A = this chain, B = another copy of it.
């Protein structure tokens, strides 16, 4: 029994089973290298002692952890939840454990978390977006940790990515808005600094406007953090401006929902007086009234694909292929024609 106050070690098991530590280790990691009779005896000892391998020791000795780290900008809302859940599910199927931490949209914290995860022996890393200091990439390179970017797709970035075309998607929804007859369009965007996804979306808007003969310079873009309250505030500001926009394109569903809530509060009818669109197709978008016309992102597929790709990179069977997934516009209630259609 040894000291019951202390977790048993390989050694304890070896002694209990009357074999060497090497044999015990092999029983656990390469069972076919050990003859059945011994194996059974060892496994019984493992059971009897309630032995769990010490992970730190394992990592140190084997330099392999079967752990993947992911750093997402926030856990505060569900933007990344669905994709991440799928990512974890697929990782589990492949024998990996996922460790998640949140950077709270701060590059410094992200860097810190990356170090923490790498130091902890993560075999690979999932990061969101491409924007980060070069030194981070140097660090990953030096430590030889495979990393993959999700939620964004840039064909020739430093890291491979499994994501979607933020620019094209926003352009797509803008076109729908223009097709509806809107000419006076504004945007509530997420913070673009250090966030290539947000930036690309704004760019998508501008390009769509330009291509349709509208002046991007005359379009107000309010930048704010992804937060319902902030979306509400920004909406209020936009409604106070002249000429008042007839459509407001939001960089994400959270902002759109904030805008809708504020519209409700101000007694402004959506979409009759003003149209509002979102991005992400979160559950939220289909639950508010009116429901949000938005860009559907295949989160689950992205998560699974990312897991597959990253584990292959870790195993050395892939050098990291980038994938661009398709997005689509989901028409719901919050987008309609502008009010004075017949001016």
Which chain A residues have a beta carbon within 8 Å of chain B's beta carbons? 4-7, 50, 52-60, 67, 74-78, 81-82, 84-85, 88, 97-102, 104, 113, 115-116, 118-121, 138-139, 142-144, 228, 257-258, 260-261, 264, 283-284, 286-289
Q: Are B50 and A60 in contact (CB under 8 A)?
A: no
Interface centre among A53, A78, A257, by most B CB within 10 Å? Answer: A78
Q: Say yes or no: A142-B228 contact (C-beta < 8 A), given A76-B81, A261-B287, A288-B289.
A: no
**Min CB gap A138→B, angstroms:** 8
Partner of A287, one of B98, B116, B118, B288: B288
Q: Which residues of B contact A283 (CB under 8 A)?
A: 77, 228
Q: A74-B85, A75-B88 are in contact. List 17 more A-B contacts (CB 8 A).
A: A5-B144, A6-B144, A7-B143, A55-B116, A56-B59, A56-B60, A67-B120, A75-B85, A78-B78, A85-B102, A88-B102, A97-B116, A100-B100, A257-B287, A284-B284, A287-B288, A289-B289
Q: Which residues of B contact A142 (CB under 8 A)?
A: 4, 7, 50
Partner of A228, one of B57, B81, B287: B287
Partner of A119, one of B4, B53, B144: B53
**Min CB gap A264→B, angstroms:** 6
Q: Are B101 and A98 in contact (CB under 8 A)?
A: yes
Interface centre among A6, A55, A139, by most B CB within 10 Å? Answer: A55
**Min CB gap A28→B, angstroms:** 13
- Nearest to A66 among chain B residues (CB) is B116
Q: Which residues of B contact A257 (CB under 8 A)?
A: 287
30 CB-based A-B contacts, threshold 8 Å = A6-B144, A7-B142, A50-B139, A53-B119, A54-B119, A55-B56, A55-B116, A55-B120, A55-B121, A56-B57, A56-B60, A57-B60, A60-B60, A75-B75, A76-B78, A77-B78, A77-B81, A81-B81, A85-B102, A88-B101, A97-B113, A98-B101, A100-B100, A228-B287, A258-B287, A261-B286, A284-B284, A284-B287, A288-B288, A288-B289
**Min CB gap A100→B, angstroms:** 5
- Nearest to A98 among chain B residues (CB) is B101
Q: Are B287 and A119 in contact (CB under 8 A)?
A: no
State the CA gap A121–B77 with chains docked (Å): 29
Q: Which residues of B contact A143 (CB under 8 A)?
A: 7, 52
**Min CB gap A55→B, angstroms:** 4
Interface centre among A82, A97, A101, A228, by most B CB within 10 Å? Answer: A97
**Min CB gap A303→B, angstroms:** 11
